[in-house]
Amino acid sequence: MKTVVVGDQEQEWLDLSDASVVTARRYLAEPESGNQGDVRVLNLCRTGRYQGRGYYVSLLAEARGQRPVPDVKTIENLRSEAYVRALEAEIQPLVNETLHHDESERFQLEVYLGKHPGHEALAEQLFARVRAPLLRVLFARKEGSWHLESLQAVGLADIPMQNRALLLDAVKSFMTESPAAKRQGAKKGRPRLAILWDPNEPHKPSNEEALQRFVKTAPLVGLEAELIGPDALERLPEFDALFNRAGPEGIIYEFLRKADSLGMPVVDDPESVLKCGNKVFMQELMNRHRIATPRTLVVHRGNVDEVVPTLSLPCVLKLPDSGFGLDVVKIESEDSLRKETERFFNKSELLIAQEWLPSDFDWRVGVYDRRPLFVAKYFMAPGHWKVNKIVEGQPVVEGKTEALTIGEAPEQVINTAVRAANLIGRGLYGADLKQVEDRFYLIEVNINPNIDAGNEDQVLGDALYREVLGVFARRIAETGGGAAQRPAP
């Protein structure tokens, strides 16, 4: 990869045999100064002034299909106090681990491409999160604890003479690092989609064959897709959109939150996760909009005795945040009811109890971008009352999946599913319904529904993957992305 280093003015001491060193004026006036092949632009200009020369170096680098460091989004982030405060929260533990300057109330750290001789770990973390090559970071001590006070991108002209050798070494080291985001065969300027998955997750929403189909299909809709894991949070700004294929808890939720804060299209969006993640909220929402559900009682410690008179036995008891059939139990006696409610009350103040509606299968309608995407019958696991039979220490036993065309499913199934999902948002949802004779009842709307090769794609085949990715391509274009988020060199 070719590297072009751009400064505000000529600096004779910046001697780099493996890079082109040009001034900002020349770079802006002469597109050919670094426009051949795969080019990384190291912008060492002052970028603090909006639409100043340094700003335009990064802006035009992006327009030319190059990889600027910093990119324009980073420059804009540094102007945001909210961004600085969010960064402070992220690095606070490391700051107080590494700063031991008891003789002063303020400490200034100069970070050159992630390098600082006395604070290596902190410098690396700052550069990983803030992809600005030259950073001046000011910390202040308050009540015995160090806090990030300000963050400023500086230029070559701000580098003291005694630090020039350090900067020169940092630039050379940076240039020798292989680009983490370079993809073989990737087309220059193509928007990049991160597909987040956890290979260690026991109940994956997409099997590996489906994930590979997403990656292979992406170029057909003008995208470049890459599978990333839970250890790639720092790389998220490299991408233009995020597609989550992992359980949205813990670090996975941090990916969703961060992607949302970066303004990129994200599925699952944090708001949908919160709405779908609580069955009490879901029941209240469906009641308000008169969407038929099984007879349901929101259970608290004061009304446990009402469960049996209201719902009869057997019934189903659920934790509000249960998923994948976990913490969903069939209640067949009052003793079982007392035992299970007490166990669940240790985790939640409110529970959900629903009438027992036995069936051979559940309807699942995939709803995406407010339209039906697929429909399938999920049959119960053999000899079990749920779709998934989960026994600790044993492999999960799943019932078969039978996909249908949208037109083959009852119209009421599709209409109810779409109406319910659209109350949540415009993400990707799985709406589950029970059918009892000619009546249909919404069970719940899930985020992160299964899309497995051989199951949900039985009818649509590759078209299913194109539909999902096509929405991402459109949303990236709508938000002005697609090369707005450049890969981190």
Output the domain CATH number for residue 196. 3.40.50.20
Tokens of 437: 């004779």
- CA 353 to CA 336: how far, in whole Å? 13
Domain assignment present for residue 454? The answer is: no
Number of residues that make up the chain: 489
> 253 with 244: CB under 8 angstroms?
no
Same domain, 225 and 87: no
Output phi, psi for 429, to 5 deg. Answer: -130, 155
Question: What is the token pair recorded at 33?
Answer: 């100064």
Both 232 and 301 in one domain: the answer is: no
Answer whether residue 410 is part of any domain: no
Tokens at residue 195, please? 């597909």
Q: How far apart are CA 93 and CA 97, in angstroms?
A: 6
CATH number at 320 reads 3.30.1490.20
User: Do 133 and 219 share a structural domain?
Assistant: no
Q: Do the beta carbons of residue 74 and residue 237 sit within 8 Å?
A: yes
> What is the pTM assigned to this prediction?
0.60
Residue 415, in any domain of the structure: no
Does residue 423 lie within any of the structural domains?
no
Do 58 and 164 lie in a common domain? yes
In a domain, 379, yes or no: no
Among the candidates 177, 201, 223, a domain finishes at 177
Q: How many CA atoms lie within 13 A of 155 on its CB side?
A: 22
Q: Considering 356, 377, 396, which residue would you say is the last residue of a domain?
A: 356
The reply to whether 223 and 250 lie within a common domain is yes
Rg over CA atoms, the chain: 27
SS (H, E, C) the chain: CEEEEEECCCCCCCCCCCCEEEEHHHHHHCHHHHCCCCEEEEECCCCCCCCCHHHHHHHHHHHCCCEEECCHHHHHHCCCHHHHHHHHHHHHHHHHHHCCCCCCCEEEEEEECCECCCCHHHHHHHHHHCCCCEEEEEEEEECCEEEEEEEEECCHHHCCHHHHHHHHHHHHHHHHCCCCCCCCCCCCCCCEEEEEECCCCCCCCCCHHHHHHHHHHHHHHCCEEEEECCCCHHHHHHCCEEEEECCCCCHHHHHHHHHHHCCCCEECCHHHHHHHCCHHHHHHHHHHCCCCCCCEEEECCCCHHHHHHHHCCCEEEECCCCCCCCCEEEECCHHHHHHHHHHHHCCCCCEEEEECCCCCEEEEEEEECCEEEEEEEEECCCCCCCCEECCCCCCCEECCEEEECHHHCCHHHHHHHHHHHHCCCCCEEEEEEEEECCEEEEEEEEECCCCCCCCCCCCCCHHHHHHHHHHHHHHHHHCCCCCCCCCCC
Computed over every residue of the chain, the mean pLDDT equals 86
Q: Where is the domain boundary, 142, 177, 212?
A: 177
126, 37: one domain: yes
Q: Longest C-alpha distance within the chain, in Å?
A: 87
Give the neighbor-by-neighbor strand order of the sheet with 241-245: 224-228, 192-197, 241-245, 266-267
173/244 same-domain check: no
Q: Does a structural domain hold residue 372?
A: no
Q: Which two tokens stand for residue 454?
A: 């051989």
pLDDT reported for residue 89: 86
**Lookup result for tokens 């299913």:** 464
Q: Which residue has the tokens 């009540």?
A: 143
- pLDDT tens, N- to C-terminus, the chain (489 residues): 788 888 888 887 887 878 888 888 888 777 665 455 578 889 999 887 755 778 778 877 776 778 889 887 788 778 778 778 888 888 888 888 888 765 678 889 899 999 988 888 888 889 988 889 999 999 988 887 888 988 899 998 888 899 988 988 888 888 876 544 433 333 346 899 999 999 999 889 999 999 999 999 999 999 999 999 999 999 999 999 999 999 988 899 889 989 988 899 999 998 898 888 878 888 888 988 999 999 999 889 889 999 999 999 999 999 887 765 568 899 999 999 999 999 998 888 888 999 999 899 999 999 999 999 999 999 988 777 677 666 666 666 788 999 999 999 999 999 999 999 999 999 999 999 999 999 999 999 999 999 999 999 999 999 999 999 999 999 998 887 643 443 333
* β-bridge partners, 397: 389
Whether residues 122 and 161 share a domain: the answer is yes
Residue 226 is part of which domain span? Answer: 192-268+470-478
Q: Is residue 392 part of a domain?
A: no
Please name every residue paired with 330 in a beta bridge, in sequence order, or none if there are none: 316
Task: Determine, yes or no, domain membership for 369.
Answer: no
- For residues 257, 215, 488, 54, the Cα torsion angle rounded to the nearest 10 degrees is -90
235 and 130 together in one domain = no
Based on the fold, state whether residues 7 and 76 are members of the same structural domain: yes
| Total of domains in the chain | 3
Are 248 and 305 found together in one domain? no
Give me the pLDDT at residue 450, please. 95
Instruction: Find out whether 451 and 403 touch, Cβ atoms under 8 Å.
Output: no
Q: What is the pLDDT of residue 348?
A: 84
Residues 212 and 324 in one domain: no
